Amino acid sequence: MPFRLNIACFTLLSHITHVISFIFAFKFFIVKAKHVALFIFLILLADQSLKLYTKTHYYLQEEHFILGKWFRLHFVENPGMAWGWEFGGEFGKIILTLFRMIAVILGTFYLRNIIRKKYHTGFIICASLIYVGALGNLIDSMFYGLIFNESEPYQLAKLFPAGGGYTSFLHGKVVDMLYFPIIQTHYPSWFPVTSWRGQDFEFFSPVFNLADASISIGVIALLIWQKKFFPKKQAVPKIVTVETEKAALDSGNTQTVV
């Protein structure tokens, strides 16, 4: 990958991270629909730009080191769910794509609703991350099979090929490329599970994309800060003094004050 593209990717990701940090830091920041739309657009732009570049400049299974050996761009295509999981073959693929489509449609109305009701800023951002992640992978599933030919080892895919795409509507594969094999080693000879001794061990092995990362960050942040996003309202007890009680009696109000 060209050096300039590396810098552009890291710069964009850095800006997105700073925006998230800024919004989380200010609880009373007033989030408007235009802010959420811009936030979603930036993440979707980064996700689709990286996917389009990878699809047209990388062979299938091609790999490049970005930061040492622990951060790589490794091009794979995922026919199923996020993080390389699969679901029920071709029929499951259609069901999954339709589910994503319904989730995105309903998510659009849900986002508009929580913005109008002025929910906690952090919750709106988390919901936006999950929404844009689903939208990013939905675009792959719906259109990539129509606008690209098949990616193969030692053969680059072309955008809008003369012979048409590699599959039909809703059957496109999701492009994955982010690979973080932070630890690569072997199970020791003393490992309790005998069959695993001497076998390869890798952490973190899934290959994913920015859309997958957005969904994961949104869900994890919701779990961590749910109490902050939805604090329990505590009833404020009324303090009744002798003077206020006497004043109530003098005014003829005999109602009991709790």
Distance CA 239, CA 96 (A): 57
Element of type H or E holding 178: strand 174-179
Catalogue the long-range contacts made by 65-71 (C-beta closer than 8 Å, 24 or more residues apart).
66/1, 66/6, 69/181, 69/184, 70/180, 70/181, 70/182, 71/179, 71/180
Distance CA 140, CA 97 (A): 10
Task: Report residue 54 as tokens.
Answer: 């990878």
Q: Is the dihedral of CA 53, 57, 63, 67 positive or negative?
A: negative
Q: How far apart are CA 241 and CA 31, in angstroms?
A: 42
- Residue 56 makes CB contacts below 8 A (sequence gap 6+) with 156, 157, 158, 159
Q: Which residues are catalytic?
A: 176, 212
Nearest residue to 132 (alpha-carbon basis) of 115, 111, 114, 117? 111
